[in-house]
Amino acid sequence: MKGQMKIFLSAYACEPGKGSEPGVGWRWANGLAERVGRLTVLTREDNRQTIDRELAKLPVESPLRRVTFLYHDLCKPLLWAKRKKLLPTIGYYALWQWSVTRKFGALADQFDIVHHLTFCTLLCPGLWRLKHAAYVLGPVGAPQVNPHYLPLFGGKAWVQKMRGWVIHRFPSLPWLRRLLGTAAAVVPANSETRQLLMSHGIAAREVMLDTGAPFTEEVPDARPRVAQPNAIRLMYAGQLEPRKGLELSLRALAKVPIDCDWSFDVFGAGPDRDRLADMSTKLEIEKRVKFHGAVPQTELKKSFHEADAFLFTSVRDTSGGVNLEAMAQGLPIICVAHQGVGDITDETCAERVSQESISETIDDLAAAIVRLALDPVRRLEMGRAAAHRAQTCFSWNAKFDLMVKIYEETSH
């Protein structure tokens, strides 16, 4: 059956050479192209040129050359509004989903499986109405902010509060209840989402993270990690926005004893950058915190090699896949253990802080930083455990094979 299956993959974000969601979509297209008979990928028109250039580099026999790519974007005024941030990404995405189901709905229904993949959240899990094809949804997330952390959003805390209210009452939305009820398979992206789905009677599959660990042949033990006790080099990579919780990181670092020799390298860009830089100055830690901005993947990989631990204090993240990149390079994690990173890490490879009040979280994070700073041998042991866990528990190939198995079980 596997060799003959026809799969229609809805991947709003799908672009080679990119990190985050676009890179995830492209990786899934690669893996599925090698495993199914016919794959059609629907993505944004904005991704066409990059995909065409990448395909032109591939040999004729590459499975990706056999994939049919379909492209669609909304009208120019809406594109303009999105680029000017007058229309939020989630708003554009919802309209895009509405538009593609009307343009490509009849075509998609001729396939064995319609799989809604990237940007897959419980608030907008596609709008497909299918009569013949089986619908596979996921990995789907339902990330929400713990009430403890709402003050981190300032005047926009009400948006997160309302978002959480809607997520918890999703069965009351008729169209969403219909979609989830008719889906052949609903695959949750983390344990919290699975628990939420199951509590409302949705037969969710086992948890499957939407991303996987990058393969590396390098041995973490061989990395230059000799360090004196009471010193630690920390790093973060990702968007700089309130939901990433970097305020918690900075305030925790300000509580680390002054005799501890620490540094914190922040890689990424976003609307919260200036506020965070000002905060580091007010906390009198600006000489130890460096904002590098967005950097190429090659430079980021080099930074993973130079760091001692990865500090991740996001308060709303479906997967937090960047932690897998750090772990694959032999970095232990310091994190608030919930949502995706709660599934990615365990006690062998991470200092895991539970969700408490902001002040308690900050104190716990500071204590975790000090523990790792004082024990470089334990850091190395945790780094080895992190690399092992990333490759054995979050392999891309195992993920692709499992999804194909779901296809086989659900196709008509």
Q: Where are the beta strands (DSSP E) in 48-148?
A: 68-72, 113-116, 134-140
Please tell me the predicted confidence (pLDDT) of residue 176. Answer: 84
* pLDDT for 201 beyond 80: yes
- 72 neighbors 40 (Cβ within 8 angstroms): no
Distances (CA, A) of 271 to 115, 213, 242, 275, 293: 32, 28, 9, 8, 12
pLDDT per residue over 203-230, tens digit each? 899 999 988 988 665 545 545 455 677 8
Query: With helix as H, strand as E and coil as C, how does 264-333 read?
Result: EEEECCCCCHHHHHHHHHHCCCCCCEEEEECCCHHHHHHHHHHCCEEEECCCCCCCCCHHHHHHHCCCCE
Domains of the chain: 2-212+396-410 (3.40.50.11930), 220-393 (3.40.50.2000)
Please tell me the predicted confidence (pLDDT) of residue 401. Answer: 94
pLDDT per residue over 367-387, tens digit each? 999 999 999 999 999 999 999
pTM recorded for the entire structure: 0.89
pLDDT per residue over 254-306, tens digit each? 999 989 999 999 999 999 999 999 999 999 999 999 999 999 888 888 999 99
Please tell me the predicted confidence (pLDDT) of residue 139. Answer: 94
Continuous segment of H or E residues that includes residue 342: helix 339-344
Buried b (16+ CB within 10 A) or exposed e, 58-75: eeeeebbeebebbeebbe
Please tell me the predicted confidence (pLDDT) of residue 296. Answer: 87
pLDDT per residue over 103-136, tens digit each? 999 999 999 999 999 888 888 888 898 999 999 9
- Give 206's DSSP letter: S
The burial class, CB within 10 Å (0-12 / 13-18 / 19+), for 157 is middle
Please tell me the predicted confidence (pLDDT) of residue 1. Answer: 45
Q: How confident is the model at residue 3 (pLDDT cuts 50, 70, 90)?
A: low
pLDDT per residue over 307-329, tens digit each? 999 999 999 999 899 999 999 99
Joined tokens for residue 172: 């009351």
Please tell me the predicted confidence (pLDDT) of residue 390. Answer: 95
pLDDT per residue over 347-370, tens digit each? 999 999 999 999 999 999 999 999
- Give 67's DSSP letter: P
Q: Which has more pLDDT, 261 or 177?
A: 261
pLDDT per residue over 13-53, tens digit each? 999 987 778 888 999 999 999 999 899 999 999 999 999 99
Question: What count of other Cβ atoms lies within 10 Å of the Cβ of residue 352?
Answer: 18
Please tell me the predicted confidence (pLDDT) of residue 100. Answer: 96
Mean pLDDT, residues 392-396 taken together: 93
pLDDT per residue over 48-103, tens digit each? 999 999 999 999 999 999 999 999 999 999 999 999 889 988 899 999 999 999 99
